[in-house]
Amino acid sequence: MAMHRYQLLYQLVLGDFRERTRRYSYLLTMLGALFFGYLVITGKYTVQFSDYRSIYNSEWFGTMMAVTCGMMFSIAGFYLVKNSISRDRRTQVGQIIASTPLSNLEYIFAKFVSNFLVLLSMVAVLAVIAFLMLLFRNESGSVDLWAFSLPFLLLSLPAMALVAAAAVFFDTVKWLRGSLGNVLYLFMAEIFLVMGMMRTISLDLAGNNLFIEGVKAGLAEAYPGVKVGLQMGFIGLVEDIRMEGTNTFVWKGIDWSPETVSLRFVWIGLAIVVLLLTLPFFDRFDPAGLKQPAKRKKAVLPKVENVGNEQISNIVSSYSQISVVDAAFSFVAMIRAEFSLMVKGFHWSWYLIAAGILAAQLVVPFDIARMYITPLAMVWPLLIWSAMGNRETRFGTGELLFSSPMPFKRQFPSVWLAGLFVALAAVGTMVMRSIIAGQWSYAMALLIGAFFVSSLALAFGTISGSKKLFEVIYLMFWYVGSVDHVPVLDLLGTTAEAVTITKMLVLGLLTVGLLTAAGMARRRQVYGC
């Protein structure tokens, strides 16, 4: 009996959902979400309005968790779900699907739904945690299930719908599938979240502004004329939160006026628009749509090639005709091989810009080079570093390499050294200039930063088997620390305040820890233990 269209879609969504929720990365993200829930329960992550707070009631817990879900999964969730179409492409399951009657719209829609369900499953876990908190710490005397649930329905769901659709879009458009898309999305999401906090209601994806303004309105009602400062984030990690003695008020939740509700539906509409925009980019897994056959520049004719001092004929018909080479391992050759593998495959403009950045480090005034050019030099090779340690997993060359002699002692350190060489090349000029200028501590900070970044890349790449983890975490560090110049997160010492002995020691220790973790992960891959 022929399967109905909707049954086909249902099976596709179900299969995809099962596949994804049984993956290690899902488990890790879920554990991360649970840990985050723990931080919220213990007050490490909180929202505070000076000495004032709402009583702990259904509206407060529901809204706070729904907003944090929107913020957290707008980034982490995207990277978790943005691989479904790529996986179909890589495993060639896509070509099987392409040969079925399933339309492009149905396929794209099914992928969106399964992305959405994966994200919702994580929101659901945090919603359960929030509900348990409500039961244990409720100060209102009653539980209003509707008031608790509404923020999840109206804040989290639309946000997750847009994230799910964006993941489908970025996973479909050819030039957004890889690292460029990962980086671009991170910046876009940051803009949305920051603008959302800054009263820009039209960009308030997670519902941050609604939450903050709603609480402020409740506060103004209870304490007319009071002025408060807002703190939101991991405040409890660095200072004690005073749970007793704060001035409380009863917050009745977000005012869900028709206008507010309809603004939330705009995000769902936007998600649909994004999905529709995806359609023209979907090539239905046609390999011809991915790459054109390599153009032959000239006819290939039998030829005689010079190799060393000898000429070899290209007619080899028997193995016995082939010269035997004695093996003699060379670390230099291995590092060179890893380095050339790392830097292959970029567009010529990438190398040109890299050369421009290095030249700029040499000629621009020292302080400008320190604050602006060096951070640029340390983000330009992002895609080189993010491929470290996971290339064997991503391309399936593990068995070929791990059956070579001493892969753990030879190839693995070579990857790190090649990555370190890139980092040292990025900061080398500034290290020399700072030594000449007598700024030894800055020179040391740059060198430690180079060691740290290459080790971080190797560890994250080896452990996760993917480029994404390093790209996202390092970019956040880089942006907040070295571009926004927040000293504690500044790995490159762009300001004098960012260069401290303590930080250098911590980074040095972390480098050793990361290398140890990377080594353990690779050892497990090579030896299975």
Partner 1 sequence: MFDHQACPVGEKFISATSYLPNRLLKGTCFISLSALCELTGSTDLQLDIRGLGKRYKGDVWGLKDFNLSIGAGVIGLLGPNGAGKSTLMRILATVTRPTEGQALWNGTEITDAPNDVRKILGYLPQDFGIYPNLNAVEFLTYLAAARGIGGTAATKRINQLLELVNLGDARKRKLGSLSGGMKQRVGIAQALLNDPQLLIVDEPTAGLDPEERIRFRNLLTELAGERIVILSSHIVSDIEAAANSIAIINKGHLLIHATPEELLQTVEGKVWETVIPESEMDALKKTHVIGNAGRTSEGVRVRVIGDRQPRSDARSVNPSIEDAYLLALDTDRNGHGDA
Contact residues: partner 1, CB under 8 A:
291, 293-294, 300, 302, 305, 307-308, 310, 312, 314-325, 327-330, 333-334, 336-338, 340-341, 344-345, 391, 395-397, 399-407, 410-411, 527-529
Minimum CB separation of residue 309 from partner 1 in Å reads 8
Sheet holding 46-49, edge to edge: 230-233, 46-49, 52-54, 247-249
Nearer to partner 1, 201 or 316 (CB): 316
Q: Count the Cβ atoms, other than its own, within 10 Å of residue 296.
A: 7
Local structure of 248: helix, strand or coil? strand
Q: Count the Cβ atoms, other than its own, within 10 Å of residue 290.
A: 10
Nearer to partner 1, 55 or 334 (CB): 334
Minimum CB separation of residue 304 from partner 1 in Å reads 11
HEC secondary structure over 4-68: CHHHHHHHHHHHHHHHHHCCHHHHHHHHHHHHHHHHHHCCCCEEEECCEEECCCHHHHHHHHHHH
Minimum CB separation of residue 415 from partner 1 in Å reads 11
Nearer to partner 1, 96 or 237 (CB): 96
> CA separation (Å) from 151 to 123, 148, 237, 253, 456?
12, 7, 26, 9, 38
Minimum CB separation of residue 529 from partner 1 in Å reads 7
Nearer to partner 1, 239 or 326 (CB): 326
What is the C-alpha separation between 56 and 58, in angstroms, rounded? Answer: 7
For residue 228, give every residue at least 6 positions away whose Cβ sits within 8 Å of its Cβ, in sequence order, or none. Answer: 49, 50, 51, 52, 216, 219
Minimum CB separation of residue 471 from partner 1 in Å reads 19
Nearer to partner 1, 284 or 336 (CB): 336
Nearer to partner 1, 229 or 308 (CB): 308
Nearer to partner 1, 135 or 324 (CB): 324
DSSP state of 318: -
Whether the CB-CB separation of 41 and 126 falls below 8 Å is answered with no
What is the C-alpha separation between 33 and 125, in angstroms, rounded? Answer: 8
Minimum CB separation of residue 378 from partner 1 in Å reads 24
Nearer to partner 1, 278 or 411 (CB): 411
Minimum CB separation of residue 405 from partner 1 in Å reads 4
Minimum CB separation of residue 338 from partner 1 in Å reads 8
Tokens of 124: 């659901």
Whether the CB-CB separation of 455 and 518 falls below 8 Å is answered with yes
Tokens of 227: 């002025």
What is the C-alpha separation between 271 and 266, in angstroms, rounded? Answer: 9
Nearer to partner 1, 135 or 304 (CB): 304
Minimum CB separation of residue 497 from partner 1 in Å reads 42
- With CA atoms as reference, report the closest residue to 130 among 63, 54, 71, 74: 63
Minimum CB separation of residue 420 from partner 1 in Å reads 18
Nearer to partner 1, 227 or 303 (CB): 303
Q: Count the Cβ atoms, other than its own, within 10 Å of residue 433.
A: 18
What is the C-alpha separation between 68 and 138, in angstroms, rounded? Answer: 19
Torsion angles phi and psi, residue 307, rounded to 5: -130, 115
Minimum CB separation of residue 396 from partner 1 in Å reads 3
Nearer to partner 1, 200 or 393 (CB): 393
